[in-house]
Amino acid sequence: MSDLVEFIRTSFWHVSPILIAGIFAVGIMIERWKVLFRTYPIPDAESFFDRITEMVEAGKIKEAIQVCERFPEKPVAQVTKQALLRAHQTEDLIEHGLQLVVSKSAQEIQRRTGFLATVANVATLLGLFGTIAGLINSFQAVGHADAQQKSTLLAAGISQAMNATLLGLGVAIPCMIAFSFLTNRTNRLVAEVDQAAVRSLDILKQKLYGIETTAKDSLS
C-alpha cells in the first residue's frame, strides 16, 4: 500500500487521468444512490394507490391530483397524476399520454448510471497504458545503465509499471460493482413506474365502468 501511495506521489501527473476518473465515478455513485434510494421511491406505494382509488371512485379527481402533486420528485406519483389529468379523455388518449410520461420517467431514472461502466473501462485502459509506458521507460533506462544497476532499475521500473495497472483496476472494480448494483435498482424503479401506469389506467377504467353500469341501471 505504501508503494502505491509513493507511486501516486512520484508519478502524479501520469496517474492523474485515473484519479480524475475515480473522482468522477464517486460523484456519480453518490448522486445515483441519493436519487435511486431516497428521491425517486415513493413511501408506502400501496397506501398511496389505495387513497387515489378511493378519491377517484368518489369522483374527487382534483383532490387526487393534489395528492400526486405532493410528490413532485416521485415518478410513480407523476405518472399517476398524468393519468388523472387525462381522466376526461378517451382510453386511447390516456394510454398514449401514459406511454410518453413513462418513457420520460424511465430516461430520468436511467440517466448517468451507464457512465460507471464507461469509467470502469477507461480506468482499466488507462492503467494498462501506464503499465506499457512505464515498461518502455524502464527498458530504455536499463539500456543505458551499468551492468550492476540494471537489475535494480529493472525491478523498480516494473514495480512502478504494475502499480499503474493496480490503480486502474482499483478504480474499475468498484465502478463495475456499483454499476451492477445501481442498474438492478434502476430496473426495479422503472418496473414500478410501468406498474403505476397500469394501475392508474385500471383505476380510471373501473371508475368509467361504474358510471356506465349506473347509467344502464337507471335506464332499466
Q: Output the pLDDT for position 105.
A: 93
Cβ burial, residue 186 (10 Å; 0-12/13-18/19+): buried
Which cell goes with 166? 493496480
Q: Output the pLDDT for position 4.
A: 62
Q: Output the pLDDT for position 14.
A: 74
Contact assessment for residue 187 and residue 135, using Cβ atoms and an 8 Å cutoff: no
Q: Output the pLDDT for position 161.
A: 79
For residue 19, the tally of other CB atoms under 10 A from its CB is 15
Cβ burial, residue 214 (10 Å; 0-12/13-18/19+): exposed
Q: Output the pLDDT for position 182.
A: 96
Q: Output the pLDDT for position 1.
A: 58
Q: Output the pLDDT for position 59.
A: 86
Measured CA distances, 161 to 5, 132, 136, 143, 207 (Å):
14, 7, 9, 17, 69
Which cell goes with 135? 515498461
Q: Output the pLDDT for position 198.
A: 93
Which cell goes with 122? 477507461
Helix, strand, coil % in the chain, rounded to nearest 5 = 85, 0, 15
Ranges of residues in the chain with a pLDDT under 70 are 1-4, 7, 141, 143-148, 150, 209-220
The domain spans of the chain are 2-219
